[in-house]
Amino acid sequence: MSSSESLRFETRCIHTGVHKDGAFDSATTPIYTSSTFGWSDLKTNKGYEYTRSGNPTRRALEENLAALEGGLDCRATATGMAAITTIMHMFKSGDHIIAGHDIYGGTYRLFEAVYSQFGIDVEFVNQQDLDRVRKAVKPNTKAIWIETPSNPLLNLVDIAGLVEIAHKAGAIAVADNTFLSPYLQRPFEFGVDIILHSTTKYLNGHSDVVGGAVITRQKEHAEKIGYLVNSLGTPCSPFDAWLVLRGLKTLGPRMEAHQKNAMALARFLEKHPKIERVYYPGLESHPHHALAKKQQKGFGAMVTADIKGSRATAEKAMTSLKIFSLAESLGGVESLVAYPDTMSHATMTEESRRAAGISERTMRLSVGIEHIDDLIADWKQALEA
């Protein structure tokens, strides 16, 4: 079935981009592992030549993701970092980019340690304050890099406000929509030009693949990104594409289950005497709760909490958990807890971690879709341990 704007989100998840196999009328898209495809004469092939430049299984995923974000085109990449790398090659030496000060640790490292060597100047600004962003704009500003909610403190930034600043400066707005997925946040509706995902997280949702995607809404950007993915060699394998396509079918119901659990666990932790502070945009106490209600369709399932005490107290609680695994990553059906200070954000300097508000008592939870009573009981016993 082809993409259709009239279909509702959950229906598109299941049907858009499904390339059924004509030989046997399969219900799902087959995995085309073939590296190359035949030509019938020197001018004619069936739309695919070589799997780096295009592959039917990967294309099915790309059509699906483009439809879910409401974009024109999508390119599925090997990882989320490969998606970011591809986008960064749209820029050149001498360009200036304004990124948030508390973005994903790997993105921060890529900008700070790698692209700085190629003369691309990425400036990290607290984007919660639009005036600071306005003041950071320079004549050579080519993009505003948005990630909301942020990692790990779940700070929100005003997407529409940042887009306005970018466009006024003649720059583009890029949004990393990994934390919420298009089910809960649709950055194109606020004027964003390019969306990227780590499909490793909610889109695949089963912690069994790493992948990424770049979604565009303008023809010029679609062509550029398609050219770059092929030139750089950043696309994902057909098998990985198939896994993500499989995970996507249940995106809607999974996100509902995830965020219902997250809200209940956040409320439990907020009242617990051993917890100092809970960061969850769904709580009325969250400083950006109103903005979350305005620009998101839900609050997501990432919950961060500061425990009372020290690094040792945090370590004791996290290693006492039985259902939550102590591991990096997020967005899978299984619950995880991570320690940003030594795990996801270890590549930042201690100074920049503290400046971003990450302390040695900060624990980041990716709330899965297990039964909520089991998840609450797990934290109850771990905090009493």
Ligand X SMILES: *Cc1c(COP(=O)(O)O)cnc(C)c1O
Going through the chain in order, the beta strands assigned E by DSSP cover 73-77, 96-100, 121-125, 141-147, 172-176, 194-198, 212-216, 275-279, 302-307, 325-326, 336-338, 362-366
Helix/strand/coil for 209: coil
Least Cβ distance, residue 76 to ligand X (angstroms): 12
Distance (Å, whole) CA 291 – CA 284: 11
Of residues 205 and 317, the one with the C-beta less far from ligand X: 205
Of residues 79 and 216, the one with the C-beta less far from ligand X: 79
Least Cβ distance, residue 179 to ligand X (angstroms): 6
Q: What is the DSSP string of 301-321?
A: SEEEEEESS-HHHHHHHHHH-
Instruction: Report the half-sphere exposure of 275 (CA within 13 A, side-chain side).
Output: 23
Distance (Å, whole) CA 46 – CA 345: 45
The β-bridge partners of 97 are 122, 143
Least Cβ distance, residue 67 to ligand X (angstroms): 21
Distance (Å, whole) CA 12 – CA 186: 15
Of residues 107 and 378, the one with the C-beta less far from ligand X: 107
Of residues 98 and 317, the one with the C-beta less far from ligand X: 98
Least Cβ distance, residue 88 to ligand X (angstroms): 13
**Token match 């971690």: residue?**
353
Of residues 169 and 236, the one with the C-beta less far from ligand X: 236
Footprint on this chain of ligand X (rule: CB under 6 A): 79-81, 104, 106-107, 147, 151, 176, 178-179, 198, 200-201, 210, 212
Q: Could you list the active site residues?
A: 52, 104, 176, 201
Distance (Å, whole) CA 273 – CA 276: 8
Least Cβ distance, residue 116 to ligand X (angstroms): 19
